């Protein structure tokens, strides 16, 4: 199984300031089709996960452009350029390259 490791596990951010989360996979997530299958979710309190970023750096429909993803191979980063109060919740990375699908432990973002 591919192990996904996120850091930090908790993050306190100031509104208007940037924040970033790291995700590392135990194996490369590069598929033979040339795409890398790493995505990011935000789970707000009491809600299901919502897709933010797919294939490392593509924002899903309706996701604000303050969210961006980067990385390759086994090292990935989610960045929020200017944190807003509505960004609170738990962020998960997920690999969908192969079964079993695996998730990072989650990073809890709180606002200072």
Partner 1 sequence: EVHLLESGGGLVQPGGSLRLTCAAAGFTFSNYAMSWVRQAPGKGLEWVSVISASGASTYYADSVKGRFTISRDSSKNTVFLQMKSLRADDTAVYFCAKVPLKWVVPGAYDYWGQGALVTVSS
Q: Which of 5, 10, 17, 105 binds partner 1 (CB under 8 A)?
A: 105
Is residue 41 within 8 A of residue 94, CB to CB? The reply is yes
Closest CB to partner 1 among 86 and 101? Answer: 101
d(C-alpha 97, C-alpha 58), whole Å: 16
45: number of Cβ within 10 Å: 7
Is residue 79 within 8 A of residue 97, CB to CB? The reply is no
76 belongs to the binding site for partner 1 (CB under 8 A): no
Q: Is 47 exposed, middle or buried (0-12, 13-18, 19+ CB in 10 A)?
A: exposed
* Residue 3 C-beta: closest distance to partner 1, Å: 13
Query: Where in 30-69 is the site for partner 1 (CB under 8 A)?
Result: 31, 35, 37, 39, 41, 43, 47-51, 54-55, 60
d(C-alpha 110, C-alpha 10), whole Å: 8
* Residue 22 C-beta: closest distance to partner 1, Å: 16
Q: Which of 11, 24, 66, 106 binds partner 1 (CB under 8 A)?
A: 106
Q: Which of 45, 62, 65, 99 binds partner 1 (CB under 8 A)?
A: 99
Closest CB to partner 1 among 55 and 81? Answer: 55
């Amino acid at each position: 199984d591919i192990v996904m490791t996120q850091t930090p596990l908790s993050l306190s951010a100031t509104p208007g300031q940037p924040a970033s989360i790291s995700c590392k996979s135990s194996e490369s997530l590069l598929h033979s089709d040339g795409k890398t299958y790493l995505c990011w979710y935000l789970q707000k309190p009491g809600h299901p996960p919502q897709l933010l970023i797919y294939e490392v750096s593509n924002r899903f429909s309706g996701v604000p452009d303050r969210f961006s993803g980067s990385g390759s191979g086994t090292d990935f980063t989610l960045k929020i350029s200017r944190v807003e109060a509505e960004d609170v919740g738990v962020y998960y990375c997920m690999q969908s390259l192969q079964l079993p699908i695996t998730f990072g432990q989650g990073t809890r973002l709180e606002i200072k």
